[in-house]
């Protein structure tokens, strides 16, 4: 019955994707060729943002965004306690200080009230995370950013295809960051993208991904000039044409994959109703993209036992995430102690992520739900 392991997330790659990649392998360009611009255009078409900059991974995309808004030593960026470490790490890469704000207990999204509490004269930006695939309260966050003259960055690595009040992720902040890691909605193996309506920010990020050099190879060739200048210290954060060909092909399937993810999440909600498992709340004015299906176990239950029960039966449950500042690196280097964000810390104790990806089927969803139900009875 439990023959196949069901991971919490995984990619789906079909023959069409493979052909798209092979075609590039036979072409003249392996990196920074026509597929990069084509993938960027596909993403601006999809999200509705004006500019897109593709980079080597989602973390590089966050780093480029922090660079573009000029984060440097002494600058504070407010980040949620519950996110993947990269959101906060990208602030440290620039010498800035990540300041952790608490999350709302029912959605685990950045709490605008606590963002306001954490603002100081050194605050330069807010990095909101659309945790699990649900957009944050952007009306509130935008208003705070406007009032305090802060940049608003959306880490939408969980939220490609999500919507807030009829607007897609990519149009809800000054810059929006996506990841194409295999567990995300679409994959390029490794890959990331920033979308924005602001040309000056896009231009800065284009330079940043290519050593700080002001024009790429093709542009120089078209200008017939050998000359280039390095204006700032950048990195090699380029993505390859091979990867972008995969991304373009994957993006075509996104609408179908999103509806599968949404349907499976609904199935879970239905199947787990009354078992004691409480899914996170979805706000009425959003369309959830369901990168993750996350809920809370009952306070009376022991997560370790339930986790092991499911893993032993081939179900790839996971936990997203330990509040970032509780990682040893943050405790040691930022001197943070437990108690900083009590809602996040309390929620973390009961959180569990159930398998959810577009390559699953309804039978697997049922298997997961039934096994969790049994675990809750047994525990």
Ligand X SMILES: *Cc1c(COP(=O)(O)O)cnc(C)c1O
Active site residues: 184
Would you call the peptide bond into 295 cis, given omega within 30 degrees of 0 as the criterion? no
- Residue 294 backbone dihedrals phi, psi, to 5 degrees: -120, 140
> CA–CA separation, 352 vs 373, rounded Å?
13
Beta-bridged to residue 149, according to DSSP, are: none
Per CB under 6 A, does 43 bind ligand X?
A: no
Minimum distance of ligand X from residue 155's CB (angstroms): 5
Residue span binding ligand X (CB under 6 A) among the ranges 38-46, 153-161, 344-352, 367-375: 153-161
Taking CB under 6 A as the criterion, the residue among 84, 164, 290, 348 binding ligand X is 84
Output 10 or 148, the one with its CB closest to ligand X.
10
- Count interface residues toward ligand X (CB under 6 A): 14
Taking CB under 6 A as the criterion, the residue among 32, 59, 134, 171 binding ligand X is 59
Residue span binding ligand X (CB under 6 A) among the ranges 6-14, 15-23, 46-54, 84-92: 84-92
Per CB under 6 A, does 351 bind ligand X?
A: no
Per CB under 6 A, does 250 bind ligand X?
A: no
Output 155 or 345, the one with its CB closest to ligand X.
155
Tokens 């499911």 sit on residue: 310
Residue span binding ligand X (CB under 6 A) among the ranges 57-65, 262-270, 330-338, 356-364: 57-65
Taking CB under 6 A as the criterion, the residue among 87, 94, 250, 367 binding ligand X is 87
Task: Report long-range pairs for 9-16 (Cβ below 8 Å, ≥24 apart).
Answer: 9/182, 9/183, 9/184, 9/291, 9/292, 9/355, 9/356, 9/357, 10/182, 10/183, 10/357, 10/359, 11/182, 11/183, 11/187, 11/359, 12/253, 12/257, 12/357, 12/358, 12/359, 13/187, 13/246, 16/249
Q: Give one DSSP letter per residue of 226-292, joined into a string.
A: ----B-S---B---BHHHHHHHHHHHTTHHHHHHHHHHHHHHHHHHTTTSS-EEPP--TTEE---S-
> CA–CA separation, 75 vs 72, rounded Å?
6
Can you read off the two tokens belonging to residue 207?
A: 């330079």
Taking CB under 6 A as the criterion, the residue among 63, 124, 142, 158 binding ligand X is 158
Per CB under 6 A, does 39 bind ligand X?
A: no
Per CB under 6 A, does 11 bind ligand X?
A: no
Taking CB under 6 A as the criterion, the residue among 54, 79, 86, 173 binding ligand X is 86
Per CB under 6 A, does 100 bind ligand X?
A: no
Output 58 or 355, the one with its CB closest to ligand X.
58
Q: What is the CA radius of gyration of the chain?
A: 21
Per CB under 6 A, does 323 bind ligand X?
A: no
Beta-bridged to residue 167, according to DSSP, are: 164
Residue span binding ligand X (CB under 6 A) among the ranges 83-91, 113-121, 217-225, 341-349: 83-91
Per CB under 6 A, does 108 bind ligand X?
A: no
Minimum distance of ligand X from residue 158's CB (angstroms): 5
What DSSP character marks residue 185?
A: S
**Positions that interact with ligand X (CB under 6 A):** 57-59, 83-84, 86-87, 129, 155, 157-158, 179, 181, 192
């Amino acid at each position: 019955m439990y023959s196949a392991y069901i991971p919490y997330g995984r990619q789906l790659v079909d023959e069409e994707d493979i052909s798209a990649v092979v075609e590039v392998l036979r072409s003249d360009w392996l990196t920074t060729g026509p597929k990069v611009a084509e993938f960027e255009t596909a993403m601006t078409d999809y999200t509705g943002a004006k500019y897109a900059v593709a980079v080597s991974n989602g973390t590089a995309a966050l780093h480029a965004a922090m660079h573009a808004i000029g984060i440097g030593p002494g600058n504070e960026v407010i980040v949620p306690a519950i996110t993947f470490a990269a959101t906060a790490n990208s602030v440290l890469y620039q010498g800035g200080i990540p300041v952790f704000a608490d999350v709302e207990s029912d959605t685990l999204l950045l709490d605008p009230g606590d963002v306001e509490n954490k603002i100081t004269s050194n605050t330069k930006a807010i990095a909101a995370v659309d945790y699990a695939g649900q957009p944050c309260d952007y009306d509130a966050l935008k208003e705070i950013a406007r009032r305090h003259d802060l940049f608003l960055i959306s880490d939408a690595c969980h939220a490609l295809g999500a919507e807030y009040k009829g607007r897609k992720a990519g149009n809800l902040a000054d810059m929006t960051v996506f990841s194409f890691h295999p567990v995300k909605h679409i994959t390029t193996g490794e890959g990331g993208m920033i979308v924005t309506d602001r040309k000056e920010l896009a231009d800065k990020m284009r330079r940043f991904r290519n050593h700080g050099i002001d024009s790429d190879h093709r542009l120089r060739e078209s200008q017939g000039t050998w000359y280039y200048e390095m204006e700032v210290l950048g990195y090699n954060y380029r993505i390859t044409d091979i990867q972008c060909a995969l991304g373009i092909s994957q993006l075509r399937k996104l609408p179908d994959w999103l509806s599968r993810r949404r349907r499976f999440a609904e199935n879970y909600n239905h199947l787990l109703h009354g078992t004691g498992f409480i899914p996170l709340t979805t706000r009425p004015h959003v369309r959830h993209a369901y990168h993750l299906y996350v809920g809370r176990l009952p306070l009376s239950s022991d997560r370790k036992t339930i986790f092991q029960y499911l893993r032993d039966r081939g179900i790839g449950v996971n936990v997203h995430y330990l509040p970032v500042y509780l990682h040893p690196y943050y405790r040691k280097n930022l001197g943070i102690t437990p108690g900083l964000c009590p809602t996040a810390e309390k929620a973390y104790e009961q959180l569990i992520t159930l398998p959810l990806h577009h390559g699953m089927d309804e039978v697997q969803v049922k298997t997961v739900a039934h096994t969790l139900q049994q675990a809750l009875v047994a525990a």
